[in-house]
């Protein structure tokens, strides 16, 4: 139970900060030591966001949108997230229906587990499933690939047939809804976008307030800029 002064309640459910001056959405790029953060900041600014690069928990909770970038190893990224209590920020934002965008390993950590070099690490568990090494003769998968976007996508609106820039050796190669209420007509199933590198893998997911891409929109030229602009319209 929260104390009488409401301090814990206020921390868990911060009052919305609202749009930045001029109506631009306020987006925080979480700075936890694992991500191509400067490129992400610049790309978001170019499509009209007011962007803040910070690990400050309160600021990340209050923003219109939170971006979780990630490069490198799954376990190391999870350790970095936990060090700044980013796992709590993501969980509390999603519980309150506040948008989060994961990029590359920032997408991978949304799954239950990551397996690298025979070592398993727990993820954030927002989605069921395991991230493991691509079943391909050549890894990493590096370069431009077309995606298979689903009907009804907002993220890929107008860019359904474009190519995006990938650089990764690991990915989720299956996607399970993992919701007990999946048969409930009130439940909206996630929209999953796929790509291929010898085998199919999850390239993006749109799941209510949680959106993520395995590719790097900030490195994907005009198509990536359009995708980020599309995401901003959901904030």
**77 a catalytic residue:** no
Report CA Rg, the chain. Answer: 17
d(CA 173, CA 129): 9
**216 a catalytic residue:** yes
Start-to-end C-alpha separation, the chain: 30
Q: For residue 44, give both structure tokens.
A: 């978001």
The one catalytic residue in 141, 168, 197, 216 is 216
Name the E strands within 23-157: 26-30, 50-54, 65-68, 100-103, 111-116, 119-122, 127-133, 141-146
CA 164 to chain CA centroid, nearest Å: 16
The one catalytic residue in 104, 126, 162, 197 is 104
Q: Which residues contact 174 (CB under 8 A, 6 or more apart)?
A: 129, 202
| Residue in the block written with tokens 């650089």 | 167
The one catalytic residue in 112, 126, 162, 218 is 218
**26 a catalytic residue:** no
Active site (catalytic) residues: 104, 216, 218
């Amino acid at each position: 139970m929260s104390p009488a002064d409401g301090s814990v309640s206020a921390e868990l459910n911060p009052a919305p900060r609202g749009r930045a001056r001029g109506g631009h959405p306020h987006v925080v790029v979480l700075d936890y030591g694992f991500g191509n953060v400067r490129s992400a900041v610049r790309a978001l600014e170019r499509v009209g966001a007011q962007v803040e690069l910070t690990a400050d928990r309160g600021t990340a909770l209050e923003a219109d949108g939170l971006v979780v970038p990630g490069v490198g190893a799954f376990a190391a990224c999870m350790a970095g997230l936990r060090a700044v209590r980013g796992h709590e920020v993501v969980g509390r934002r999603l519980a309150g229906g506040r948008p989060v965008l994961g990029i590359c390993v920032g997408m991978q950590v949304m799954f239950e587990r990551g397996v690298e070099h025979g070592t398993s690490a727990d993820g954030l568990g927002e989605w069921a499933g395991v991230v493991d090494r691509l079943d391909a003769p050549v890894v990493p998968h590096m370069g431009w690939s077309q995606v298979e976007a689903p009907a009804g996508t907002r993220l890929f609106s107008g860019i359904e047939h474009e190519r995006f820039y990938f650089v990764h050796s690991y990915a989720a190669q299956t996607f399970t809804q993992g919701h007990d209420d999946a048969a409930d007509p009130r439940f909206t199933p996630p929209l999953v976008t796929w790509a291929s590198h010898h085998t199919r893998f999850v390239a993006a997911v749109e799941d209510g307030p949680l959106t993520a891409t395995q590719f790097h929109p900030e490195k994907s030229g005009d198509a990536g800029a359009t995708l980020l602009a599309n995401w901003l319209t959901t904030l």
